[in-house]
Amino acid sequence: MKIGLMPQTMWLCFRSSFARELNRMSKDNPREVMAKARKRYKEIITTIPEFEKGDPLLINILSAAMLSSVYLELAEKPNLEQVTDFYHHAMTNNKVMKCFLKRGSKYTPKAQEKLKRQGEESVRRSEKNPYTWCFRYEAGTNINNYSAVFTYCGILHLLQVLNIPEICPAMCTYDYDMAELSGSKFTRKYTLASGGPCCDCHWMKKI
75 and 115 in a single domain? The answer is: no
HSE at residue 73, side-chain half, CA atoms within 13 A, is: 24
User: Are 87 and 108 within one domain?
Assistant: no
Q: Does 178 lie in the same domain as 129?
A: yes
With cut-offs at 50, 70 and 90, classify the pLDDT of residue 99: confident
Summarize the confidence of residues 107-121 as an average pLDDT: 94
**Whether pLDDT at 97 is above 90:** no
pLDDT tens digit sequence for 157-181: 999 999 999 999 999 999 999 898 8
Same domain, 92 and 11: yes
Q: Which of 45, 79, 100 is the last residue of a domain?
A: 100
Q: Residues near 76 by Cβ (< 8 Å), separated by ≥ 6?
A: 26
Whole-prediction pTM: 0.93
Residue 124 backbone dihedrals phi, psi, to 5 degrees: -70, -45
**pLDDT at residue 105 tops 90:** no
Write down the pLDDT at residue 104.
63
The predicted structure's pLDDT at residue 126: 94
Residues 51 and 82 in one domain: yes
Same domain, 15 and 93: yes
- Please determine, for residue 182, whether its predicted confidence score (pLDDT) is greater than 90: no
Average pLDDT over residues 6-21: 95
pLDDT tens per residue, range 28-82:
999 999 999 999 999 999 999 999 988 989 999 999 999 999 999 999 999 999 9
Shared-domain flag, residues 10 and 85:
yes
Residue 110 shares a structural domain with residue 90: no
Same domain, 29 and 119: no
Q: Are residues 80 and 126 in the same domain?
A: no
Same domain, residue pair 88 and 150:
no
Domain match, 51 and 78 both:
yes
Q: How many domains does the chain have?
A: 2
Among 79, 100, 121, identify where a domain stops: 100
Give DSSP secondary structure letters for 78-139: PPHHHHHHHHHHHHHS-HHHHHHHHSS-S-SHHHHHHHHHHHHHHHHHHHH-TTS-EEEEEE
Q: Domain of residue 191: give its range.
A: 104-205
Among the candidates 100, 130, 155, a domain finishes at 100
